Structure 1
């Protein structure tokens, strides 16, 4: 549940720290005081898009942090662990910082996070029902999504949509094969010729570097032989060879050693030099023995290199890329061959269609079962919300053709009074009735949703009197099972709260600020009295407010 909310320099709020309790929390205040600021700020902490205009005038940045208790949320704890966000002693802190230029940063338990990660975490935590949410119910798509949510069938609906896309893709591949067979045949013939040319090079395609090195050696073999012999002569075979000179110098050193044995180290160095020269001469002779003039091999390598250069120019690639190009062309030929197999393509399409039908029928079964239950539950709630005799009928009609959303269309038909035939929600329900039906549906969904916190942003607009009392009772009962936060202008709803927050607007030095405070019992009486009586609060109004709170 939501445990704490910190808001700094957001719109009209300079600084607010709020602790939240379980049950029903109500948020009230005069029109224009900024009651929705709290919800809007919370939505930013949960990953909504931000703009620089939300930063309080004169401040460099806005910061919102929401702390949640992770009791009975093992799936979220597992998600945090998998994503690398350690849960700190059973709490989760989502924080958002927005600078005046509109750039923002997001954090989960102190670690940098993406907005997508904030939203993913938020899906485990709460639902926000905005004050215009009931208008969305007029759309057929929204009605279908409500039914799927009530049925717990969102995952199955996604599976059906994926199966439908796979079916359509398979169908399109078959249609493309039938319509563009001639073009693909021309492409196949051209690719086949190129592949045959490349395959004719054999292993040479992958030995470009080796062939170049061997060609360079053979092309310069005379220079290499002459150089090797010159080195051997200079080191060992000529009259002034290095090995002879080292021998003479070693004899001279021996005579000196007879006089002074301090030259022993120098003698060792000369011996080492003589050994190195002898080893070098041996290596040069071995190298030269492997060099030979081979004009036929050189001509063969010339031909191979010429063939590779020619094909590389033809395909507009470097010679070393020819091997990869052959793999690419072979894969394309295989794909073209598969595309021309119309029987195989038809079989793949039939299999994809059968998979879609199987998944769609499973979804239809879930929807049929849930439609009856949802109709019954919302109808009962409508009676409680002063729509006695009204009913909601969730109907499923076969779609004209299979769709991504399944085999049927969903329609919410409603009768707001007894004796009236059910009709489309958009044509039958008035504004106030639509608001109450929306609340009934939302609370029905809340009974099956897994999130621990529900927020209602003025969904009670357009109602009053006994209907408002019924709404208050229903929200209070919902608060016994979940944490519920309601922004309301109705005293009948506000009186049902277990916690009461008030938003007020203040002006100081030409700067307007919104302040949010937790009300004690005495302050609650005054606030409920204000909601009942407006600016003029009498003793009778206060007594009425106290009675409402006591009841």
Structure 2
């Protein structure tokens, strides 16, 4: 629901802060008092087109802030989460600023957003009848979903629609798979000679994963084998003083010789020091063992070192062949085994592809049959629902002074598969006729302003349980009517207000008397500090006594009589 609306410097409003209650809120006032300005301001906060004319004369910037309370599962939260806008609280605050040069900025929960996101979020929170002609019931793309929602309880239309969507996606997946396989088979047939040559070439080479890097390392090692042999010999000499074997003739400067000498001297010292030098002796023993391990490893590597020129040539030939093939196919050498498998599969497709295509075609046909069967069941349910919906809405029209009008749900069912879609075989449009014998047409093009509001009211009343639960604003839905018709409008607005918050701008005392909250819009002029006349619009919440006088004014005009007050008491049920 709309909780608060704060307006600064919008046309005749300098500063205004309104708090709204749940239920039916009525706004009344003299013609020209500024009721339409409130809607313009609310529309600005909802992302409507920003026009510089809305900025109050003599000020630099207009600001409108609308605060809404909505449950955690409201669709608005999903929109904000997708846009990475914080919405953890139940409150969503829309803010719009507009400067004299026509530039505007939009914010949601103090986060800068695009006007389109502001509009999308606002449209999920509140609907202003007559302000946005292409949304809600005026948007024909929503009619099919509304019809499905209306028929869920009696005909399970929404459930059938969900199942139809699921089967449509399955059918389309099968069709995509079949088309891709068909294209692959056609391409493979075009490239058959190339595939066979490439497979033969790769199969003969039999590349292995990681082989190129391994060959590169072997090649590098063998190319520098002489330097490596010399370096390893020097290393062994430093460690052992000779060929690495421990003997009494080893070089006294070798690592092993020095460690043995240190162990002997430490052993002599330990005869006097006892156990105190055990840790030192253990360290020397570990060092000797590590040196022996190093010698052993180097010796093994040395023995495996192959400096055979023929072996080097064989390694180089294979290494460069792998590189050449990889460049030919524009891949990494390590990907050659995977490429061979892919080419083999494509080659095999030429032999087995026809059978595979037939199998995929059968799957696609079966998926289409399931979709069509469910879509036709959905279509039948929609037609049944449309008859019930038309009857219910048409029953609401006579009390709203639309006794000559009629409402009809037009369903066009196509047998052309190219016209089918995820929503089934049907196109749905809500149509109206305002005079007997005239052809039905789109709601927004056939009905006049007052008629349009009452058509929408009838529709909202009938579908109150399935239409979105955001706040709903009616602008003079009672225009051109009075008496029993105005009473019928007021009664239906009050009925709607049991399900959702309703705001209505009205000139009808019968409608105003139904409100649970009454706000009076007034305009007053005064001299400013500069002597210029300044006109301001104000909005005042009315007490019970003030409300009585306002309804009496609406009944009697400028002069409020006791008879008008008595009639107002009757309307208000006081």
TM-score under structure 1 length normalisation: 0.74
User: Which position in structure 2 is the counterpart of 1:315?
Assistant: 329
User: Which position in structure 1 is the counterpart of 2:440?
Assistant: 424
3-state SS of the aligned residue for 1:209? helix
Structure 1 residues 351 and 290: alpha-carbon distance in aligned structure 2, compared to 1, 3 A threshold: same
User: Which position in structure 2 is the counterpart of 1:354?
Assistant: 369
User: Which position in structure 1 is the counterpart of 2:218?
Assistant: 214
Pick the aligned partner of 2:543 from 508, 520, 523: 520
Residue 478 of structure 1 pairs with residue 476 of structure 2: no
Alignment of 1:446-457 (within 5 A): 446-449=464-467, 451-457=468-474
Residue 368 of structure 1 pairs with residue 410 of structure 2: no
User: Which position in structure 2 is the counterpart of 1:499?
Assistant: 517
User: Alpha-carbon deviations, 1:355-404, whole Å to 9, x = none?
Assistant: 33122112112212211211111111001112235443435454363532
Structure 1 residues 196 and 431: alpha-carbon distance in aligned structure 2, compared to 1, 3 A threshold: farther
Alignment of 1:78-89 (within 5 A): none
Structure 1 residues 248 and 165: alpha-carbon distance in aligned structure 2, compared to 1, 3 A threshold: closer
Matches of 2:366 and 2:381, distance apart in 1? 23
Residue 464 of structure 1 pairs with residue 466 of structure 2: no
3-state SS of the aligned residue for 1:457? strand
Residue 549 of structure 1 pairs with residue 563 of structure 2: no
Q: For residue 204 of structure 1, report the CA deviation from its aligned partner.
A: 1.5
Q: For residue 218 of structure 1, report the CA deviation from its aligned partner.
A: 3.7
Residue 243 of structure 1 pairs with residue 256 of structure 2: yes
User: Which position in structure 1 is the counterpart of 2:302?
Assistant: 288
3-state SS of the aligned residue for 1:204? coil
User: Which position in structure 2 is the counterpart of 1:382?
Assistant: 397
Structure 1 residues 308 and 186: alpha-carbon distance in aligned structure 2, compared to 1, 3 A threshold: same
Maintained 8 Å contact 1:50/1:104: no
Structure 1 residues 392 and 259: alpha-carbon distance in aligned structure 2, compared to 1, 3 A threshold: closer
Task: Give the aligned CA root-mean-square deviation in angstroms.
Answer: 5.3
User: Alpha-carbon deviations, 1:80-126, whole Å to 9, x = none?
Assistant: 9x9999999xx82223466788665645xx99999999999989x86
User: Which position in structure 1 is the counterpart of 2:37?
Assistant: 34
Structure 1 residues 292 and 393: alpha-carbon distance in aligned structure 2, compared to 1, 3 A threshold: closer
Maintained 8 Å contact 1:26/1:500: yes
Aligned pair count?
A: 532
User: Alpha-carbon deviations, 1:280-335, whole Å to 9, x = none?
Assistant: 33332233233344555544432332122112211233334445655766777788
The runs of 5 or more residues in structure 1 that have no matched partner are none
Structure 1 residues 231 and 196: alpha-carbon distance in aligned structure 2, compared to 1, 3 A threshold: same
TM-score under structure 2 length normalisation: 0.71
Q: For residue 255 of structure 1, report the CA deviation from its aligned partner.
A: 7.8
Q: For residue 453 of structure 1, report the CA deviation from its aligned partner.
A: 4.6
Structure 1 residues 111 and 140: alpha-carbon distance in aligned structure 2, compared to 1, 3 A threshold: closer
Matches of 2:108 and 2:465, distance apart in 1? 31
Matches of 1:225 and 1:503, distance apart in 2? 102
Maintained 8 Å contact 2:7/2:41: no
Maintained 8 Å contact 1:55/1:99: no
Matches of 2:185 and 2:317, distance apart in 1? 39
Maintained 8 Å contact 2:464/2:499: no
The runs of 5 or more residues in structure 2 that have no matched partner are 243-250
Q: For residue 457 of structure 1, report the CA deviation from its aligned partner.
A: 3.2
